[in-house]
Structure 1
Amino acid sequence: MESKRRSTLLKNKSYLWLISSQIVSSLGDWLDILAVMTLVAIKWNASPIAVSALMLCFAGPMIVVGPIAGSIADKFDRKKIMIISDILSAIAVLGVAFSTSLWQVYVLITLKSIFVAFFMPAKNGKLKEIVDPEDIQMATGISGMIDNGAKVIGPTISGLLVASVGVQWAFFLDAISFVLSALFLIAVPKTAIQSTNDITATSKLSLQELSSTMKEGFAILKGFPILLTSLFLFSASLFVLQIADTQFMVLARLIFEEPTTLVGYAMAASGVGMFVSSAILTKIKLPNVLVTTSLGGIGVGGAFALVALMTRLDITLIYLLFPLLCFIAGASFGLTAIPFQISVQKQVPISKTGRVFGTIGSITTISSFIGMGLGGVLSQTIGVIQTFVLAGVLLICVGTLMLISKRSVESRGHHVTESDGGI
């Protein structure tokens, strides 16, 4: 059955073009992230708060743009949205390559994040649009494998480029990847006309519609208590993950004068962990989504708490343990994220995926936003090591609490299903 599903996907040319676009775009993104962190945290020796501010520029625009982008993805041609986003992202990345001050990087990264915020819900909606419902689990899992495979290859290439020819080349390759992504998307068909009661016939969006989009997405999610609880755990995991991501370079420079190589290994190991999770979860029957998100959160919290406690060990041991713990963190986060994303794809109607994913993007981005900002403040005040340990222990507590309350959440989901059936 699995080989039959894979064969069906491989014959779906629209899906193959969409996935090809994702491959080059995801690879370019990971080339870009390590290069920006190296430029700001190492070359310019920015403070923990300044590094957090940089990461806020990556995530901040999603808070405002996410719901709007989701609504637009439901009402306009998703193909055009993705192509325009790719082209504008390429221009922004080229600008970063020639930046000479921190504020210029902040502005350009913010612009790029806005364009990506439009791309993501359009891509998620397009995936469900062109793939048969029985293939959606495998298609979503493969998409996750591509994202995390890029996280393995991207930092490695970026580290080699930064060490050999300088930071600029990583940005150049990222810009090229966005252009290639746009070219691949030309072969993807236009969005089919959606004639449902959930989408208005007019193509004009009023300000009132835009402002209510997040409420609509949240209202839809309230009908799925298990998904809503899983979203909370997913967001909590992202909170800790972003504290770690924003301050990992600061933590590493406590040990090495030039930590780019170590950070590259750690990022790659994290990507391997997520890749392994994706590969496994596409081949097995999905376990209970509340269990996976809880266990994944516990794993993420434990791994990053231990990372901070390893800094006083021998350098050789650190080179071995840091990537190992990041592998565990990546695999744990994959256990949290992938079943949740597949569950949303399966349960939410296609006409509502843009709004739901836009709202999910905003909620998770708010969590990431707080994590990034708080990570910088805490690292500046109590120290980066203490910050990692505190965040990790709190996430372990949240995951454990959710495991304990699993039956209560599932019973609420059962009652909602009965009520909907009666209506």
Structure 2
Amino acid sequence: MKGNMFSALKNKSFRSLFTAQIFSDLGNWLDFIAIQVVIAYHWGLGEGAIAAVIIAMGLPWVVIGPFAGVFVERLSKKTVMISSLALKLVFVAGLYFSPNLYFLLFFVLLKGTAAALYDPARQSMIRSVVPEDELPQAVTLSQLSVNSTKIIGPALGAALISLFGAKSPFLFEIAGFFIGLLFLFLLPKVEKPHVVPNLEQKKENSSFRKEFLAGIRHIYITPLLKLSVILSAAAFFIIFLYDGLFVFIVKEIGFNGEEFGLLVSAVGFGSVAGSILLGNWTKWKSLPIQLMASSSLFSGTLIVAIGLGGLKIFSLPQVGWMAGAFLLGLLGSSQSVPYGYVLQSQTPGDMMARVSAAAASIQTFSMLIAPAAGAMLAKMIGVSYVMVWAGALTSLLGLGILLTRLTANQAQTAKLKA
């Protein structure tokens, strides 16, 4: 391993790719805030409309994403990324001019489709332009962009709305996508991965169906990757199970609206801090699954504590809850960063788009069904109990994976001694 997290930016091609990602990620969060404001305040619509938008955002990743990965690998990654970002720019213009919810949902769906093409091409491009020994730094920087824009995007979107009006973030998003396009044009034209498929692989890749199934099969037959996808998908399900209820539980704990915003920001700052920490201390790359599982174990404990706080069984001063939120964000990075590294390191360059798209589809599906399950459970047992059970499941998931890995390691050691 060479240098710290930012040493990957010495690579000119990755620097262009990363800069384009920042503008793309930032635009996604500007967009999300503006859409909610338009729906709730300008059109006076309720929770059902917001839920419809979230479904429209995620649906392309589930339905189109895995198939899009196959097409992405047959085309120039640079061309796919430029085309996708350009289409996102056009679709955001459509969002700006949408006269009602139906038009808005249509353009949200189209934008999600373009994003489902962009991301596997970006993942594949990382493998093409970054040397193997710099992958942890590159993946961590990429995750840092995702985490930091979750803080900057909403705050900037809110500021733009207050200064220039509810729809102004769309215009800034369009400008950001245009700047991102300029950086994408700086990427190299030759981007084939340094992996030469053997004759059997060439035959297998001769049809769309076989290529599509090969991406899913690679996840299934690669133990480390399969575990990381299962762990991250389960974690996403549990997070989104309670995420929509978080505002209500925080209210029970004693936070007002402004303080709730600070609590969410604390989670975001924890995510950024975790990404920076993991980017500069990379010994975790030898045990990425154990790190992800440990993160689940400890974050589950924090989630249980929040639930107990809502039940008035457990209490902390506000600074204590803020510290807990920061730690929750930091532990979240301990899942997302190792997952990104496992995905990149355990997947051949010529399969990256297919595999990353298939994995994203599994994760997004769990994210889409979780809010409905959370709302149903909240009506049955109450919001606080949903938090307690979600936290307990998170800890049990982490503990189960840790015990499984420990047993497997012991069996392997015993086999070697024999």
TM over 0.5: yes
Deviation of residue 414 (structure 1)? Answer: 9.5
1:148-179 Cα distance to aligned partner (Å, 9 max, x none): 12222212212323344433122222222222
Inter-partner Cα distance in structure 2 for 1:257 and 1:98? 36
Amino acid at match of 2:60: P
Amino acid at match of 1:236: A
SS at 2:274 equivalent: helix
1:30-45 paired onto structure 2 within 5 Å: 30-40=29-39
Which residue of the partner structure matches residue 287 of structure 2? 288
Deviation of residue 330 (structure 1)? Answer: 1.9
Most deviating of 44-53 and 290-299: 44-53
- C-alpha change, 1:254 and 1:401, in structure 2 (3 Å) is same
1:17-416 paired onto structure 2 within 5 Å: 17-40=16-39, 47-193=46-192, 196-197=197-198, 200=202, 209=208, 211-248=209-246, 259=257, 261-262=258-259, 264-284=261-281, 285-286=283-284, 288-310=287-309, 320=319, 323-379=322-378, 382-410=381-409
Deviation of residue 18 (structure 1)? Answer: 0.7
Inter-partner Cα distance in structure 1 for 2:46 and 2:4? 53
TM-score, scaled relative to structure 2: 0.84
Among all aligned residue pairs of Structure 1 and Structure 2, give the percentage whose two residues are the same amino acid.
Answer: 26
Deviation of residue 305 (structure 1)? Answer: 4.2
- C-alpha change, 1:247 and 1:171, in structure 2 (3 Å) is farther
- C-alpha change, 1:170 and 1:379, in structure 2 (3 Å) is farther
Contact map agreement 2:143 2:336 (CA 8 A) in 1? no
Amino acid at match of 2:359: I
Most deviating of 262-271 and 232-241: 262-271
Which residue of the partner structure matches residue 420 of structure 1? none
Contact map agreement 1:199 1:351 (CA 8 A) in 2? no
- C-alpha change, 1:51 and 1:308, in structure 2 (3 Å) is farther
Amino acid at match of 1:392: G
Contact map agreement 1:69 1:118 (CA 8 A) in 2? yes
Inter-partner Cα distance in structure 2 for 1:145 and 1:413? 35
Amino acid at match of 1:241: I
Deviation of residue 304 (structure 1)? Answer: 3.9
Deviation of residue 375 (structure 1)? Answer: 2.9
Inter-partner Cα distance in structure 2 for 1:23 and 1:335? 21
SS at 1:192 equivalent: coil
Which residue of the partner structure matches residue 421 of structure 1? none
Q: Can you give the 5+ residue segments of structure 2 that lack an aligned partner in the other structure?
A: none
Deviation of residue 368 (structure 1)? Answer: 1.1
Contact map agreement 1:236 1:297 (CA 8 A) in 2? no
Most deviating of 61-70 and 43-52: 43-52
1:192-243 Cα distance to aligned partner (Å, 9 max, x none): 34653477599xx99x61x454532232123321321222111111112223
Contact map agreement 1:226 1:413 (CA 8 A) in 2? no
Inter-partner Cα distance in structure 1 for 2:304 and 2:173? 32
Contact map agreement 1:241 1:300 (CA 8 A) in 2? no
SS at 1:70 equivalent: helix
Inter-partner Cα distance in structure 1 for 2:203 and 2:153? 42
Deviation >6 Å, runs of 4+: 252-258, 411-415
Inter-partner Cα distance in structure 2 for 1:355 and 1:338? 20
Inter-partner Cα distance in structure 1 for 2:47 and 2:144? 31
1:48-107 Cα distance to aligned partner (Å, 9 max, x none): 554333222221211121211211222210111111111111222233334343333322
Contact map agreement 2:240 2:371 (CA 8 A) in 1? yes
- C-alpha change, 1:320 and 1:17, in structure 2 (3 Å) is same
SS at 1:189 equivalent: coil
Amino acid at match of 1:372: P
Inter-partner Cα distance in structure 1 for 2:301 and 2:42? 31
- C-alpha change, 1:119 and 1:410, in structure 2 (3 Å) is farther
Inter-partner Cα distance in structure 1 for 2:227 and 2:197? 28
Contact map agreement 2:27 2:173 (CA 8 A) in 1? yes
Inter-partner Cα distance in structure 1 for 2:311 and 2:389? 18
Deviation of residue 191 (structure 1)? Answer: 4.4
Inter-partner Cα distance in structure 2 for 1:414 and 1:220? 26
- The total of aligned residue pairs comes to 406
SS at 1:187 equivalent: coil
Amino acid at match of 2:124: G
Which residue of the partner structure matches residue 14 of structure 2? 15
Deviation of residue 123 (structure 1)? Answer: 0.3
Inter-partner Cα distance in structure 2 for 1:120 and 1:344? 13
Contact map agreement 1:59 1:113 (CA 8 A) in 2? yes
Inter-partner Cα distance in structure 2 for 1:253 and 1:40? 23
Inter-partner Cα distance in structure 1 for 2:398 and 2:244? 22
Deviation of residue 16 (structure 1)? Answer: 1.1
TM-score, scaled relative to structure 1: 0.83
- C-alpha change, 1:232 and 1:4, in structure 2 (3 Å) is closer
1:28-60 Cα distance to aligned partner (Å, 9 max, x none): 222222333444456666555543332222212
SS at 1:3 equivalent: coil
SS at 1:188 equivalent: coil
- C-alpha change, 1:201 and 1:218, in structure 2 (3 Å) is closer
Contact map agreement 1:277 1:334 (CA 8 A) in 2? yes
SS at 1:148 equivalent: helix
